[in-house]
Structure 1
Amino acid sequence: MAFFPSTSVFFPGRLRWQCLLGVVAAGLLVAESGCQSAEKESRKPTIGSQTMCQAPVPVAAAAPPDSLQPVALAPLPGLSAEVRQQVAELYQALGSEAQELRLPVLERACVGYLTLRHAGRIRRPAVLAVADMDLPSTKKRLWVLDLNKKRVLQHSYVAHGRGSGYVRARRFSNRIKSACTALGFYRTADTYDGKHGLSRRLHGLDPGQNSNALDRYVVLHGADYAGQAYLAKHQQLGYSRGCPALPPEQYRAVIKAVGEGACLFLSGPGLESKWLDGGVAAQQLAARGWQ
C-alpha cells in the first residue's frame, strides 16, 4: 500500500481495476501501431503480424499448419484454340527455368497482357512479369519473360504481405493498412531511390482489387527478408506490408528487366479481372502477335 496514493487505503479494488484497464489500453495502442504506413516494411515474421486482414490472434497462439499445395486452376474459359496453342508453344520454349510456372497461370497472364496492349494500358511490348502468389514463398515464384524471344529474363523469389498468410499466401486485399498482397494486373511505372534503395512504382489496373497500389505505396523493391540468406536461416521468406519485395542480390536486375510501362501479373486464388478477355486477346494476337 505504500506505493499508492493515500486514496488507495479507501479504494484499493478500484485502483487495481484502473491499473488493469491501463495495461489493456496500452496493449491495444501497440496493436494499432502495427498498421501500414508509407513504405514501412516488416523485416521479421511474427505470429501476431499475420492477422491484418482478420481479427487479431493472441501472440501466444500457434500458427496454423500451411498447406503448400496451390489451388487447382482450370483452363481459362472462352479462349480460342489459336491463343491456347500460342501460349502452349511459349510455355514449352521457356524450358526448365519456367518448370514451376503453372500453365493456367501463364495462360491468364498472357491473355491479360494481350488485352491490356489492345486497350493501350501498357506500353512496353513483349515483356511480361508474372508471379504465382499461390505458390509458397520458399519457391522462386516470379518470372520476367521476353515473349518475342520466348525466354526467361529473370526468375526470382518474391515476398508476400504479412496480412496474406505464412509460407503460402491465403488472403488478399486492396484495402489500405491491410498489409495484404493485392492480386491482379499492374502497369510498372518510374523508379526512385527510397528507404529500400532502387524501387519501381506500380499502378493497379483492376478496380477494387489492386487499384489502391499507389496510395498503399506498393512498389517493387529489394529487402533482406526476401533473399536466399534469410530463406536458409528461417526456412521461409519474411513479409512485406503488401509489396512484392525482391531478394537483395537480384532486385536491381528484376527492376531493370521489367522496365517502365510493362505488365506485371500477380496471380492467386479467387482472382477475377476484366482483362481476362479471350476474344480481345485473340484479336490482338492475330493483328500484332506478342507486340
Structure 2
Amino acid sequence: MPSTASEAVRRMIELSRESEQLNQQALEAQSDLDAKLSVQHEADAVLAARTDALNAARDEVRRFQPVIDRTAIAAYQGARTNRMFAVLVSDSPQQLLDQMSTLDVVESKTTEQLKHFKKANDAAQAAETAARAAADTARGAADKAEQVRADLESKRGALGGAVTQVVEAWGALSAGDKSALAGAAFPPGFDRDSLLEGLVPGSGTSALAAALTRIGDPYVWGATGPRQFDCSGLVQWAFKQVGEDVPRTSSQQARYGTPVPKDQMQPGDVIFFYSDISHVGIYAGNGLMVHASTFGVPVAVAPINTTPFHSARRY
C-alpha cells in the first residue's frame, strides 16, 4: 500500500496507464474478432451456396440415371440394336426400313441422354470439389474466430482486473488528491473561443471544435460518447460529427489518413502517443491537444509534451 499521498497518486496514475493500454488491446481484439466473424459468415454463406449447387447437381444426375441403368442392362443381356442385326432379322424391305428407323431414334435418344448424364455427372463432381473447398474454408474461418475470441476474453479479463485496481486506488485518494489529479480543464491562458473563431472549416478543425464541446466529460473505458469517452472513442466521436468515419482503436486510427511530421502539425490533426500507440488526442495548436486522458481525469486540453509522442495523422 502507498505510504504517502504522493505515492498513492503516482500509483493511481500507473494503474490508469496500464488499464488504458489493456483497454485499447481489448478494443483491438474485439475489432479483430468482428473481422474474423465477418469472414466466417461469408465462408458459411459460400458453403451453403456450394452445398445447394451440389444437391442440385446430384438431383440432375439421378434424373438421367434410369437411362444409364437401362442401357447398361441391355448391353449386359446382349440386346442387339445395330443396323446389321436389323438386316439379319428383317423379313421384308419395309420391315427393314421400319426397324432401322426405330433403331436410329433409339440410338439418337440414348446418345443424347448419355451426353446429358455425362454433363450432369461432371457438374456434380465439380460441385462436390467446390463444396469440400468451401467447407475447409468455413472450418478455417471458424477456428481463427475462436482463437481471437479466446484472446479477447483473456484481454477483457485482464482489463477487468486492472479497472478494479484503478477504482480501488481512486477511492483511497483524498478529495484534494482527486482534484489535483483531475487538474484544470484548460491550461493557463488558453482561450477556447478565440481558438474556435480562428479555425478554418474542414474535417480536422471541425472535429477539433466538436471535441472541445466535450470538455469536462468523464473518461470511461470503452466509451464512445456522447457523454463519456475513452481516448480513441473521443477521436472517433469528434470526427463522426463532421461526417468522417474513422476506425475505433488508437492503433487503427494511426493507420488512417495521411502522416504529418510533428513540426508541421495543424489544429485538427490527430496525435498518437507511446510506442504501442495506446493513447491518442486531437491537436489544438501551440503544443496543446484535447483528449480523454484516463480514469479520474475528465476530457481536457493539455500539453502534448507530457506524453511520449509517437506520430501524427491528418484526416
Q: TM-score scaled by structure 2?
A: 0.22
The higher radius of gyration belongs to 2
Q: TM-score scaled by structure 1?
A: 0.24
- Larger relative contact order (C-alpha < 8 A, sep ≥ 6)? 1
